[in-house]
């Protein structure tokens, strides 16, 4: 039962964030329309900002060997449409001394090639040094170091990266390498890499949840391998429109996870709108184990390939988006967590002006943005046809303190046509809680 004092506390936290060191209206830096390279966008952005990368294949200086912290770098439409091709020279990303406020989302990183510099620098696709970034919705293929059989396509030294819905396959190196680290994988598929799926050294652990780890794991003075509804056995892979790591309908990984697919969300989408299956059936109910692809509406028959072959031309044209989608970076918050709320809104195939309403529902209490009071209010937004927008609504750090435990809080978002007073398109909702 949500108590009124808890509602007052939530309102106070939201109000506090508006005068804190964290901006409640963090900026979005677009690549390449505003900045020519991903690196240029990262350089222009400040802590808490987002670099939003359009569809395409990115190569050359400024689009690889990228380093950032306390920012979000994300593609517009996911890894099938946004590719970083290292062209056999350098890696995609290095994370150095960063935490969960650092997020990489929705890229296909391919053809990384590096000369390792010891345990601290052995990732041929992504390297984490004293870093705990969140990496979600990424594909990593064709990466390797020059001479180290124990390196990884994704490596961590003294860090704790978290990978959610990632596909790590067909790399010359091992899939994962950890040294003095604890790596977390959720709904990931690691298969057909170098000698092992994972190679763990020196007081290193790994958590596997709803994940597929093929190729085995090697240990050297390692500890704490936690496996929750995951498998190292043959999952019965099948080919599909974006690659060879779908699940056949007979796979034991179908409905084999721990959670509901509707409760695991990435980039504003939950896994119940994505698919693991060759027949393109969205994952409903108990979540399937492994990586989830976008659904291809045009898929008819499997076309086997040697490697995953996502391309921008294979991606079906999305329906024009009309309405509001609310996006939170987490479902449950505790002290020190970054709290990032965004609204994604559009007017479909027409230019339009509308009132954007966003409110917090907590029990029988409703607080309206932007003042977060009980008085209904809105902001007028101008929208261009087929050009939806992102907008940060809140961006702060959940404060220290004993505030109890609450679930079932919701943010709602809607566009209202000012003349007809009708809802435009979909109404967005996202649910969260705190501990």
* pLDDT over 80 at 435, yes or no: no
Per-residue CA distances from 399 to 66, 218, 410 (Å): 31, 40, 19
In a domain, 328, yes or no: yes
Mean pLDDT, residues 339-359 taken together: 86
In the numeric block, the tokens 């395409």 are attached to 56
Mean pLDDT, residues 153-169 taken together: 88
* pLDDT over 60 at 333, yes or no: yes
In a domain, 411, yes or no: yes
Q: Is residue 215 domain-shared with residue 335, that is, in the same domain?
A: no
In a domain, 40, yes or no: no
Q: Is residue 91 domain-shared with residue 224, that is, in the same domain?
A: yes
Per-residue CA distances from 410 to 116, 367, 369 (Å): 46, 11, 13
Round to whole Å and give the CA distance between 370 and 412: 13
Mean pLDDT, residues 106-128 taken together: 81
The pLDDT assigned to 270 comes to: 83
Round to whole Å and give the CA distance between 246 and 304: 11
Mean pLDDT, residues 160-186 taken together: 86
Q: Is residue 186 domain-shared with residue 297, that is, in the same domain?
A: yes
Domain C-terminal end among 293, 314, 335? 314
Number of domains in the chain: 2
* pLDDT over 70 at 70, yes or no: yes
* pLDDT over 90 at 366, yes or no: no
In a domain, 305, yes or no: yes
Are the beta carbons of 361 and 412 closer than 8 angstroms?
yes
Tell me the pLDDT of the chain averaged across its residues: 80
In a domain, 7, yes or no: no
In a domain, 141, yes or no: yes
Round to whole Å and give the CA distance between 58 and 84: 5
Q: Is residue 193 domain-shared with residue 123, that is, in the same domain?
A: yes
β-partners of residue 128 are 95, 156
β-partners of residue 274 are none
Are the beta carbons of 101 and 128 closer than 8 angstroms?
no
Q: Which two tokens stand for residue 430?
A: 């996202």
> Which residues, other chains included, contact 296 with Cβ-Cβ below 8 Å and sequence gap of 6+?
240, 241, 242, 280, 314, 315, 316
Are the beta carbons of 227 and 248 closer than 8 angstroms?
no
pLDDT tens by residue, 255-311: 999 888 887 877 667 888 899 998 898 999 999 999 999 988 665 544 444 444 444
Q: Is residue 90 domain-shared with residue 221, that is, in the same domain?
A: yes
Q: Is residue 362 domain-shared with residue 398, that is, in the same domain?
A: yes
* pLDDT over 90 at 120, yes or no: no
The pLDDT assigned to 19 comes to: 38
Q: Is residue 287 domain-shared with residue 374, that is, in the same domain?
A: no
In a domain, 51, yes or no: no
Select the more confidently predicted residue: 372 or 292. Answer: 292
Domain C-terminal end among 296, 314, 332? 314
Select the more confidently predicted residue: 269 or 140. Answer: 140
* pLDDT over 50 at 5, yes or no: no
Are the beta carbons of 43 and 73 closer than 8 angstroms?
no
Q: For residue 294, give its domain range.
A: 56-314
Q: How confident is the model at residue 210 (pLDDT cuts 50, 70, 90)?
A: very high
Q: Is residue 292 domain-shared with residue 387, that is, in the same domain?
A: no
Q: How confident is the model at residue 315 (pLDDT cuts 50, 70, 90)?
A: very low
Domain C-terminal end among 252, 287, 314? 314
The pLDDT assigned to 223 comes to: 60
DSSP-derived 3-state class of residue 60: coil
pLDDT tens by residue, 380-425: 988 888 777 767 788 777 777 666 677 778 888 889 888 767 888 8
The pLDDT assigned to 317 comes to: 41
Q: Is residue 305 domain-shared with residue 332, that is, in the same domain?
A: no
Q: Is residue 74 domain-shared with residue 186, that is, in the same domain?
A: yes
Select the more confidently predicted residue: 172 or 1. Answer: 172
Round to whole Å and give the CA distance between 208 and 223: 14
Measured torsion, CA atoms of residues 40, 46, 50, 56, in degrees rounded to the nearest 10: 10
Q: Which two tokens stand for residue 280?
A: 């393109």
The pLDDT assigned to 107 comes to: 96
Q: How confident is the model at residue 1 (pLDDT cuts 50, 70, 90)?
A: very low
The model's pTM is 0.66
C-alpha 365, offset from chain centre: 31
In a domain, 352, yes or no: yes
Mean pLDDT, residues 179-196 taken together: 86
Q: Is residue 161 domain-shared with residue 297, that is, in the same domain?
A: yes
């Amino acid at each position: 039962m949500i108590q009124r004092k808890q509602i007052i506390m939530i309102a106070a936290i939201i109000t506090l964030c508006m005068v804190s060191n964290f901006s409640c209206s963090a900026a979005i830096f677009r690549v390449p329309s505003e900045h020519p390279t991903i690196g240029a966008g990262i350089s222009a952005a400040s802590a808490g900002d987002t670099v939003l990368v359009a569809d395409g294949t990115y190569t050359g200086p400024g689009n690889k060997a990228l380093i950032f912290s306390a920012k979000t770098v994300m593609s517009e439409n996911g890894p099938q449409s946004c590719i970083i091709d290292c062209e056999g020279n350098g890696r995609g990303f290095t994370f150095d001394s960063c935490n969960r406020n650092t997020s990489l989302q929705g890229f296909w990183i391919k053809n990384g090639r590096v000369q390792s510099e010891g345990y601290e620098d052995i990732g041929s696709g992504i390297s984490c040094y004293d870093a705990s970034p969140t990496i979600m919705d990424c594909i990593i293929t064709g990466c390797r170091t020059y001479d180290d059989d124990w390196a990884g396509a994704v490596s961590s030294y003294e860090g704790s990266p978290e990978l959610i819905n990632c596909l790590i396959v067909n790399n010359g190196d091992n899939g994962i390498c950890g040294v003095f680290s604890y790596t977390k994988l959720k709904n990931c598929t690691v298969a057909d890499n170098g000698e092992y799926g994972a190679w763990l050294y020196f007081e290193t652990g790994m958590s596997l949840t709803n994940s597929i780890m093929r190729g085995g794991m090697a240990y050297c003075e390692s500890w704490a391998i936690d496996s929750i509804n995951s498998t190292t056995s043959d999952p019965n892979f099948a080919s599909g429109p974006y690659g060879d790591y779908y699940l056949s309908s007979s796979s034991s990984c179908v409905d084999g996870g721990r959670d509901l697919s509707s409760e695991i969300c990435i980039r504003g989408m939950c896994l119940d709108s994505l698919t693991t299956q060759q027949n393109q059936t969205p994952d409903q109910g108990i979540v399937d184990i492994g990586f989830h692809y976008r659904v291809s509406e045009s898929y008819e028959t499997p076309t086997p390939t040697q490697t995953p072959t996502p391309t921008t031309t294979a991606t079906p044209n999305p329906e024009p988006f009309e309405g509001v989608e609310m996006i939170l970076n987490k479902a449950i918050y505790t002290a020190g967590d970054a709290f990032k709320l965004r609204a994604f809104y559009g007017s479909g195939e027409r230019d339009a002006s509308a009132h954007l309403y966003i409110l917090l529902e907590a029990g029988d209490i409703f607080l309206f943005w932007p003042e977060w009071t009980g008085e209904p209010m809105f902001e007028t937004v101008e929208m261009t046809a087929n050009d939806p927008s992102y907008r940060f609504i809140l961006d702060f750090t959940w404060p220290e303190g004993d505030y109890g435990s609450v679930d079932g809080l919701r943010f709602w978002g809607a566009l209202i046509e000012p003349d007809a007073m009708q809802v435009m398109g979909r109404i967005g909702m996202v649910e969260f809680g705190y501990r």
